[in-house]
Structure 1
Amino acid sequence: MRRHLTALFYPSLTLYHPSSSIIPSISLPSPPISSPALTHSISSSSSSHGRSLSFSATATLQYSQSTIPSGGEKSNGIPMKDSKVLLKGMRYTELEKWVLSHGYRPAQALMLWKRLYGDNIWAYSVEELEGLNKDLKSMLSKHAEFKVLHLKDMLTASDGTKKILFTFEDGLVIETVVIPCRRGRTTVCISSQVGCTMNCQFCYTGRMGLKRNLSAAEIVEQAVLARRLLSHEVGSITNVVFMGMGEPLHNIENVLKAADILVDEHGLHFSPRKVTISTSGLVPQIKRFLKESNCALAVSLNATTDEVRNWVMPINRKYNLELLLGTLREELSSKHNYKVLFEYVMLAGVNDGIEDAKRLIDLVQGIPCKINLISFNPHSGSLFKPTSEEKMIEFRNILAEAGCIVFLRLSRGDDQMAACGQLGKPGEIQAPLLKVPPKFQVALGGSV
């Protein structure tokens, strides 16, 4: 899921700072991913009038990497594709070890790494490895694969935002977004999964269900190709946000590896604080991430009560607000000079009231944080409506007057379905919309 790009990275923002169970998305063709407390079943029937779908039975949500293939087999820990090593799927230490195993020197491994990621080369084939040993290039042509993504299309929004569609050999498609900023902080928003299993009710990607995880190579190559394809047009891409399709921490092994590759000082050299991994709130994975990575963390909050969050973000039925925020409060107490970014998509009549603002102030007490208020971006099938700009400003001012660091931003790229929560293309079978609580039916037009 393309989650809510950090307002820090965009020009259209205002900064103000005074001194239970889960209903899972449908996952096809992967094995079903179920949810720990609520039962959910799917049945489909055909008739001369077409296909009807009903959702009635049970399942249990399991955050297991083993059930969802990640696009690349491994041999002795080395990522492979059709018996060739995936170069962009290895950390530098792994690549160096592999190059040495073929009889070449460490210096030659470093030269290869720099041509893959540094020196404005971003090599996509052996022919682009200028300066490398001829024998090494011959070995690479036989035993290594440079690319895992294929460019399908690139769309440009009226505000200059670029949406890039990449395909894989299995026919699946992911979307990557580049958001230019005049202040020199251009951001690439990358995907970590094809689809998403979290079924957040305001997110278009969640309608897809989960097809599969992306490998580390497939994640890294999005950032590489964004620089290769667009640096001449948008300038230096300085920021990376894992806020595209998917729940990054549901694919934590590959996301942690990809993040290590992105921040390597001899390669792409993104600052760890400018690489932001977003999550809907997977508590065990958050603990692991904060221990193993120096990259930034964004948490999609989007509600101030369990009642609302259980509905709009079913993950809350497993990891509720008290557990999620308590974990952050505890884990960040020992992490020096580190702030989590809370993302808050404002849904008219649902989570944007004055009482919500006051509750939010209380919820984040004791957590070093920034809060990013985000306009909801409509899409087909959604019942939600965006909060007015005036009301967003009022909400922001209440938080700011209480001493919170608050960012406010409007949509980017929404006329090409490139804005937050708009990525992907749901198929004929979609994840279920959850029943609207009675108290919010009026705000959503009387929907049930």
Structure 2
Amino acid sequence: MARWRSSILNPKIDLYDVVAVEQLRRQRRLDPQLIRQLRNRFLKRFDSDEAALEGFPEASRISLHSLELFRRFESGIDGATKLLFRTSSDLLIESVLLRIATGRNTLCVSSQVGCAAACGFCATGKMGIARNLSVAEILDQVQQCGQVLASEGRRLQNIVFMGMGEPFHNECNLFAAVERLVATDHFNRSPASILVSTVGVADAMLRFAEQFPKVNLALSLHSASQEKREQIIPLAKKYSLQQLRETLVEINQVQQREFMIEYLMLAGVNDSTNDAIELIRWLEPMQVHVNLIPYNPIQDAPHLHGSSSEVINRFATLLKAEGLKTTIRYSLGSDIAAACGQLVRSENRQRVMNRMPQDQGLAFTKACE
């Protein structure tokens, strides 16, 4: 009973809650250096929980994690690791660690459970649910994956918001998370080491560029034809190509550097010579870097197939001939992607159904099929 009463009277404080941590420091008259030491150990060096809290007088009051590691998948063909985390609402999200052959390590983080954008080529969009992740849940992916790399003697170089969810549908928490990532008293990451990818929420993209001009942005374009883009990205009906183009021109002016254009290569959909010509014209005269992405088929989109290597190379050659900086992405972790994605979807579906009345559960199942 005493322990229960103590937990009520002295609830744990989220380490990322700046106001609450400062209140604790003042109440307990803690030396500010103790707070700095804790953050440096935990957020910059990615020390273990025990090492980070060592010597901190109020260790029992600090909550370090908002996510619980549920399962870990290791690629058998390259340096990719997928980590499934359980949220406070008992739903699963995934983060992906990419250990690239050059020695640089990249983390792909999620911003939502599921995704309301519902792109036709994306397994997350087929999940049928969406919940915004909190600031702490976004940052805890970075922290826990940083600990994984630190335990291997590696460093985390890049952070990309390319996981589950549309980042700008969680705009408030995205902004707050990026603020913590670049803050010198938190993660102290270089803005240039962070990239946020979006399917094209035009107004939010511009607001982000204005607040974080040195953080990289990427647009999942996938077609320079309005009709084709609407077929694979439902959100394209709300944000037209004309509006997106005007937004990118403004962002170019704000950031004064290349903007990433992501282009998923889909056989017979967007990979023809005419598609390349449309893309070239649409991008003039913007300062961009085009990243062509081979498509890995998903079970829920049997009608979509990836372009062949020959077609992708030919497409890239056409873009380069017009002076466009163009690269072809090499996908890591292909051997674990399908199993992991299917597990997340099935587990989350079951968890939601277990909390629903029977009639709602049946409706949810049909919506996901």
**TM-score with structure 2 length normalisation?**
0.85
Aligned-pair distance for 1:411?
Answer: 2.3
Q: 1:421 to 1:175 in 2, by over 3 A?
A: closer
Q: State the one-letter code of the partner of 1:147.
A: H
Alpha-carbon distance change, 162 to 185 in structure 1, aligned in 2, over 3 angstroms? same
What is the aligned partner in structure 2 of residue 129 from structure 1? 53
Which gives a bigger RCO, structure 1 or 2 (Cα 8 Å, sep 6+)?
A: 1
Cα gap change, 1:195/1:430 in structure 2, threshold over 3 Å: closer, same or farther? farther
* C-alpha distance in structure 1 between counterparts of 2:27 and 2:282, whole Å: 53
Q: Does 1:272 align with 2:191?
A: yes
Give the C-alpha shift of residue 229 in structure 1: 1.9
* 2:102 paired with 1:183: yes
Counterparts of 1:405-424 in structure 2 under 5 Å? 405-417=325-337, 424=344
Q: 1:263 to 1:334 in 2, by over 3 A?
A: closer
Question: Do residues 112 (structure 1) and 33 (structure 2) align?
Answer: no
DSSP 3-state at the match of 1:104: coil
Q: Choose from 130, 140, 150 the match for 2:68.
A: 150
Of 212, 218, 222, the residue aligned with 1:298 is 218
**Alpha-carbon deviations, 1:310-344, whole Å to 9, x = none?**
110011100010001111102321333x2211111
- 2:202 paired residue number: 283
Segment drifting more, 156-165 vs 266-275: 266-275
Whole-angstrom distance in 1 between the partners of 2:343 and 2:251: 31
Residues 1:115 and 1:418: Cα distance change in structure 2 (over 3 Å): farther
Paired position in structure 1 for 2:365: 429
Structure 1 counterpart of 2:137: 218
1:90 maps to 17
> Residue 387 and residue 146 in structure 1: after superposition, are their counterparts in 2 closer, same or farther (change >3 A)?
same
**Matching residue within 360, 375, 380 for 2:294:** 375
Residue 78 (structure 2) aligned to one of 146, 149, 159: 159
Distance 1:159 1:353 in 2: 31
Gaps of 5+ in 2: 1-9, 350-363
Inter-partner Cα distance in structure 2 for 1:323 and 1:419? 37
Amino acid of the structure 1 residue aligned with 2:14:
L
C-alpha RMSD of the superposition: 2.5
SS of the residue 1:179 aligns to = strand
Identity rate, percent:
35
SS in 2 for 1:165: strand
Distance 1:101 1:247 in 2: 39
For 1:403 and 1:419, the matched residues in 2 are separated by 39
User: How many residues matched?
Assistant: 342
1 CA distance for matches of 2:172 and 2:241?
25
Change (3 A) 1:369 1:400: same
1:432 positional shift = 7.4
Instruction: Tell me: CA distance 1:301–1:292, structure 2 relative to 1, closer, same or farther (3 Å).
Output: same
Q: Which of 121, 127, 131 lines up with 1:208 in the alignment?
A: 127
2:239 aligned with 1:319: yes
Q: Separation in 2 of the partners of 1:388 and 1:420?
A: 25
Using structure 1 for the length normalisation, give the TM-score. 0.71
1:403 — aligned with what?
323
Q: Deviation string for 1:145-192 (max 9, x for gaps)?
A: 111111111111122210101112321001110010121211010101
SS of structure 2 residue aligned to 1:334 = helix
Whether the aligned pair in 1 keeps the contact of 2:13 and 2:21 (CA below 8 Å) is: no
- Which ranges in structure 1 are unaligned for 5 or more consecutive residues? 1-81, 434-448
Report which of the two has the higher share of helix: 2
**Does the residue aligned with 2:345 lie in a helix, a strand or coil?**
coil
Residue type of the alignment partner of 1:231: A
Q: 1:423 Cα shift?
A: 8.8
